[in-house]
Amino acid sequence: MARKAIAVSCRCLTGLVLGLGAFVNIACVSAKLDSAMRQAAEIRYADDEGGDYWQSPKETIARGTGDCEDQAIYLHHLLLKKGLRSEVTFGVEDLSHLKSGHAWVEYPIEGDAWVLDPTRRLMRLRSNLKKHQYYTALDQKRIRHKLMAYMTRTGASGLNSHYEASIRARLRRKE
């Protein structure tokens, strides 16, 4: 009888320690996400003049301004520096109010994703958003073209997995 009680207690203790470890890990990640979001949100929003130009993180820091793509790319850069893999996501902020395209960052977490939008100062789990909000645009020629130009100009990679495989294949064919 005593052995069973000890075995159950050990299992409960192990579960508690593992659960506490996961909680501490999530809290650490959340603090890193929050810190990066605050830093990226300090970039003042400014439309591109003379066409849609995607700035590198260095250009965004130097100018202190940028549009939604610039802010998202900068946030993605900050998260990578903190050891967090994320993705710059392209799409529409709200399908019920179509104005223009938008860019934000998504950080995957346990079957869900944090939607991080420094332009709107929004940090929310995708599962807590309405289906028509932050609607991702997949395989758009215009986005693929812009991302390819950005990658070629800056040498950057790892921004968006939905587009990068096809872009890398195109860049290899050009070599």
Q: What is the pLDDT of residues 5-48, one digit of tens each?
A: 444 444 444 444 444 444 445 678 889 999 999 999 999 999 88
Q: Indicate the DSSP class of residue 155.
A: -
Q: Which residue has the higher pLDDT, 2 or 86?
A: 86
Radius of gyration of the chain (CA): 20
Q: How far is CA 38 from the centre of its chain?
A: 14
Q: What is the mean pLDDT of residues 53-58?
A: 94
Provide the percentage of residues in the chain whose pLDDT is more than 90: 47
- Give residue 102's pLDDT: 93
Q: Which residue has the higher pLDDT, 89 or 170?
A: 89
Instruction: Give the count of domains, the chain.
Output: 1
> What tens digit of pLDDT does each residue of 103-119 get?
999 999 888 999 999 99
pTM: 0.80
Tally the C-alpha atoms within 13 A of residue 71's C-alpha that lie toward its C-beta. 26
- Give residue 15's pLDDT: 45
Residues 6+ apart with CB under 8 A from 59: 70
Q: What is the CATH number of the domain that holds 139?
A: 3.10.620
| CA–CA dist 6, 102 (Å, integer) | 56
Q: Print the domain residue range for 142.
A: 2-174
Neighbours of 56 (CB within 10 A): 17
**Dihedral sign computed on CA atoms, order 161, 113, 34, 131:** positive
Q: What is the mean pLDDT of residues 111-140?
A: 91
